Amino acid sequence: MLDPYLWLEDFTSPEALDWVRAHNAASAVILEADPRYAVLFQEALDIAGAKDRIPAPSFLSGEIYNFWQDEEHLRGLWRKTSLADYRTADPTWTTVLDIDALGREEGKSWVFHGANILMPEAGRCLVMLSDGGEDADEAREFDLETGAFVADGFTIPRGKQRIAWEDEDHLLISREWTPGELTASGYPFIVKRLARGQALDQAQEVFRGEASDGGYGVSPAVLRDDQGDRLTVFHRPLDTYRHETHVLTPLGVERLGISDRTHVNGLFDGRILLSPDEAWTVDGKTFGAGSLLQADLAAVLADPAHLNPALIWAPGPRESLAGVAGTLDKLLVGALDNVRTRVWVFTPADGGWTRKLLSLPDNLSGGVGSIEHGSNRAFVSYSGFLTPASLALADVATGEMEPIKTAPSQFDAAGHVVEQFEAISSDGTAIPYFLVRPNDPPYDGSTPTLLYAYGGFQVSMTPSYAAMTGKLWLERGGAYVLANIRGGGEFGPAWHEAGLTTRRQIIYDDFAAVAEDLIARKITSPRRLGIQGGSNGGLLMGVQMVQRPELWNAVVIQVPLLDMIRIGKIAAGASWQGEYGDVEADPAVMDFWLKTSPYHNLKPGVAYPEPFIFTTTKDDRVGPQHARKFAARLEEMGLAFFYYENIEGGHGGSADMKQQAHVTALTMTYLQRKLMD
């Protein structure tokens, strides 16, 4: 199939960048000239940099660490304080690392990708720095006690890499050791051990996958519990969802005897925690998809091929596992119950477990944050669509919850209510969705409504406080909808698998069903209904625009996948074949996407809504190529669209809060023009 826009796939070529600049300018001249834009930009910037928002805490070495961004620190401050001081209304912070200052000093557009902490000592870390926000980063050893980079310490150059501390003097690194030594999706498959003082070319290989591997590449990890147990794991993806797990034993690296859809979730009190994504039968026992299991660590190290797992927790019909974390002697199990957060506290007892529910406000979303190692204390946060975030310090042994901080409201929520409804999809399945609406809508289809969903990769969409949506959309009379369509993980692995590969049309039917339900309830109408989604959600938006153009008057397509025929040849697209199928190897997959791929199914003469297409040049995960080519095809057909490509930002969309505010203001200006005028 001849593709006239292959030249736009060379994403840094002068010709392609000239095209980007021209289309950015054409959109900006309209959207930034709208009198609403300047107000929306300032509101978004004020919210992003609000000094009274809760500084997210992390326990580390007896202190509280936080990464903070505001208008004076666009790239951010990594800082610390004591727990006692953190409890106060205005803590005194000590700067650990100033990312803005580091970027100015080195002439780089550094974005902080976090710190990889040496545990349990916690005196050293690897600071991960990305140039402009791309996934690839470099690592530098940093001394937390002196607050400085370590002279002649570990320095790992830029790459899409995974690093684990084996001990103070050794790293396990998966990276591109020689040029081109990557999988087809651009990820590393060889792990080597690097000793302190060695050059990279002196590192010794400890594990190897294959260049033909799918998924996200081989990852090393060193798991630890508070009892001093340790397990070194090598995760080798075979495709997006199937993988092998290998562990380091006294006899060397051996494969762990679990199914290729079972995950290692961590260590707790001498137990390996496991969770299967599909029913797993071992030694005559069958464990259901989405359950939580345990296996004895000592027995596993003695014989990794033969596990004797036991059940810890099994989900009910409307539940899904949402996370697992261990404290000193308690196991915390997060779950979603009809898309509402629950946290269970499990305690080992007489060969089994007892459990109790941690007391959290109902109808809100949240969960366990940072845990203090060596204790039973953990930070717990929660929020809702109209409820600002609150933070508590939980003693999970006693159940005591000490309120620490509550964020102030950043928009007037008094005029809105939250409801949960269900729409009936094309196969009769009930699809839940949340509606945030004005208290007294006219029920005549006139309410401007923004519908959001993701629908892929077993990612769950849950209620949370979205201050910018509240201030820039709800306060101006809009309604907001979050749809829990299939493809997500809200109801466990089966909810996700219902829409895999050639079954994906059901995801798109689910989304359309929610729209039709909103219209039938007379909340909104096609004239006032807009939709928004990013990444896989950007693909969802492209499909909806092409398949059901009559339902929408605004379509926001963010960092999207849109060319589903060449997806495997763009950025990391080959790693997602478990989700979307392999068009090169499976004729049924090719046939499905030829009928469904947004880029290939635009047709002249159709009354499509005028979309707003957003991407970033430095997105090395999905890539800007999809968005560019889709816009070029619209242009070829004489169809109107808005296009904006941020030069920085990576797949997250922006490298700092000013860029974030700019993109948010452009998007909201577009939506208000389309749905409120």
Structural contact between residues 3 and 612, judged by C-beta atoms closer than 8 angstroms:
no
Nearest to 320 by CA among 536, 495, 476, 513: 495
Distance CA 505, CA 503 (A): 6
What type of residue is 281?
A: T
Distance CA 265, CA 407 (A): 32
Structural contact between residues 316 and 342, judged by C-beta atoms closer than 8 angstroms:
no
651 assigned to active site = yes
Sheet containing strand 252-255, edge to edge, reads 219-224, 230-237, 243-249, 252-255
Distance CA 338, CA 317 (A): 9
Distance CA 158, CA 76 (A): 20
Q: Which of 275, 651, 654, 662 is catalytic?
A: 651
For β-strands 377-383 and 365-371, DSSP reports them as antiparallel
Phi-psi region of 649 (alpha: psi -120 to 50; beta: other; left: phi over 0): left
Q: Which two tokens stand for residue 31?
A: 């959207």
Q: What is the 3-state secondary structure (H, E, C) of 381-434?
A: EEECCCCCCEEEEEECCCCEEEEEEECCCCCCCCCEEEEEEEEECCCCCEEEEE
Q: Which of 535, 575, 597, 654 is catalytic?
A: 535
Distance CA 161, CA 168 (A): 19
Nearest to 182 by CA among 212, 138, 221: 212
Q: Which two tokens stand for residue 453?
A: 């969903």
With a CB cutoff of 8 Å and minimum separation 6, the contacts of 371 are: 59, 325, 326, 327, 332, 377, 378, 379
185 assigned to active site = no
In the beta sheet, which residues pair with residue 608? none
Structural contact between residues 78 and 99, judged by C-beta atoms closer than 8 angstroms:
yes
In the beta sheet, which residues pair with residue 366? 382
Q: What is the 3-state secondary structure (H, E, C) of 510-529?
A: HHHHHHHHHHHCCCCCHHHE
Structural contact between residues 187 and 160, judged by C-beta atoms closer than 8 angstroms:
yes
Q: What is the 3-state secondary structure (H, E, C) of 269-301?
A: CCEEEEEECCCEEECCEEECCCCEEEEEHHHHH
Quick one: the chain helix, strand, coil %, rounded to 5?
25, 35, 40
In angstroms, the Cα distances linking 524 to 515, 552, 607 are 9, 11, 20
What type of residue is 99?
A: I
Distance CA 362, CA 422 (A): 19
Structural contact between residues 307 and 256, judged by C-beta atoms closer than 8 angstroms:
yes
With a CB cutoff of 8 Å and minimum separation 6, the contacts of 185 are: 214, 215, 216, 217, 568, 572, 573, 574, 575, 576
- Count the Cβ atoms, other than its own, within 10 Å of residue 132: 19
With a CB cutoff of 8 Å and minimum separation 6, the contacts of 467 are: 47, 388, 410, 411
Distance CA 460, CA 484 (A): 7
Which residues are catalytic, by number?
A: 535, 651
